[in-house]
Structure 1
Amino acid sequence: MRIHHAAAAVTSAAMLAALTGCFGPSEVTTEPNKPAAKAADEAKAPAEKKAAKVAAVGDTITLTGHDEGLKVDATLKQWLDPAKSADQYIQPQDGKRWVAAQFELVNTGTAVYDDSPSNGTQVADADGQRFHSGYGEISAGPLMTSAAKVPPGDKVLGWIVYEVPKDSKITKVQFGLDSGFANQTGQWAVK
């Protein structure tokens, strides 16, 4: 009996450690990757204090996950506000509208990217309210898959839809790996 209790205690301790974030501190990254040519030019230039650029539509942020070798270049390709429904019968609820982010996720690591991308994303408005992804077919194009299994070197592309209040001014889009539980989250400014 003592062996079973000891094993249960070790298992419980490991689960608690995982749930309390023992993977390291959380980080929100707002600075986009630099193109190779620009990075080389900056390396040659004298060291100056420059304001960091804030990622926007079209920019890529490299993100890592909990698994060794899990690394993805996430690009916010397009932003729609409002997003129009592709189905006359499925519409936003009264007093709300749809907005949508098109992400391209390129697996630049050595591990398979296996996740539901929409679980790891949210938008924020100017008042600080945050909204998770929802469901809605939009006329702009195909939705992001709900079960991405992307081998190294491959990519996935699709729209993620959010239902937000009609008067809400959305200013930020966030995306993270591991269904949003990775320590690193990318953030893009939108208008």
Structure 2
Amino acid sequence: MRRSRRLLAALALLVPALLGFAPGDSGETISLAGNLPGERLDVTLTQVVDPASPASAAPATPTGPTGPTGPDRLVATRLRLENTGTAVYQDSPAPATHLLDTAGQRFTGLDLPTAAGPAFPAAVTLDPGATAEGFVTFRIPADAEPAAVQFALNGGLADDVGQWSLPAR
């Protein structure tokens, strides 16, 4: 069983590279194109906080926005976006960001504030040359092992996808 999980994890990391994903390590800047002319961002994964604490001290509920309960935990990833294209970047970074775990599961980012720092707003607008930095949060099972973070323009639907490998915990 453990061997099959390792194989799934290896495939989850290898397949994106074979399909044209731009790989990198945490801290590396990856240049990504969008689907429209002039859309280009330099994206850097600058920090991973695992586990991340909810931003508020209010009690968490299973479906509420304040944080996980039961077998879940939060992981916060800090991204730096720089518009290096000629078009204005208008997008929502959270659903454009995904976390992959070693079992091959994929989790979509949330606009959920944590104690790690401010989340990106639901919509980010960057003129050419402008930058923005913020956290994208993921709700994952407590026993999940994060393996990589992915980001793509156009709500995560652009063909050009950046991927950063994460060190084992």
TM category (shorter chain) comes to 0.7 to 0.9
C-alpha deviations, 1:41-73, integer Å up to 9, x for none? xxxxxxxxxxxxxx1221100000011011100
Q: Percent identity?
A: 37
Residue number in structure 1 paired with 2:93: 117
Greater fraction strand: 2
Q: How do residues 162-173 of structure 1 correspond to structure 2 at under 5 angstroms? A: 162-173=138-149
**Is residue 132 of structure 1 aligned with residue 118 of structure 2?**
no
User: In the aligned structure 1, how far is the partner of 2:87 from the partner of 2:112?
Assistant: 31
User: In the aligned structure 1, how far is the partner of 2:68 from the partner of 2:105?
Assistant: 18
Unaligned runs of 5+ residues in structure 2 are 1-18, 59-65
Q: How do residues 60-75 of structure 1 correspond to structure 2 at under 5 angstroms? A: 60-75=29-44
CA contact (8 A) 2:48 2:77 kept: yes
CA contact (8 A) 2:42 2:82 kept: yes
Q: CA RMSD in A?
A: 1.1
Q: How many residue pairs are counted as aligned between the two chains? A: 142
**Is residue 147 of structure 1 aligned with residue 116 of structure 2?**
no
Query: 1:98, CA displacement in angstroms?
Result: 0.2
Greater fraction helix: 1
User: In the aligned structure 2, how far is the partner of 1:29 from the partner of 1:162?
Assistant: 21
Residue number in structure 2 paired with 1:29: 22
Residue aligned with 2:95, SS: helix
- Which consecutive aligned stretches of 4+ in structure 1 deviate over 3 angstroms post-superposition? none
Unaligned runs of 5+ residues in structure 1 are 1-25, 31-54
Query: 1:79, CA displacement in angstroms?
Result: 0.7
Q: How high is the TM-score relative to the length of structure 2?
A: 0.81
Q: How high is the TM-score relative to the length of structure 1?
A: 0.72
**Is residue 188 of structure 1 aligned with residue 164 of structure 2?**
yes
User: In the aligned structure 1, how far is the partner of 2:124 from the partner of 2:20?
Assistant: 24
Larger radius of gyration: 1
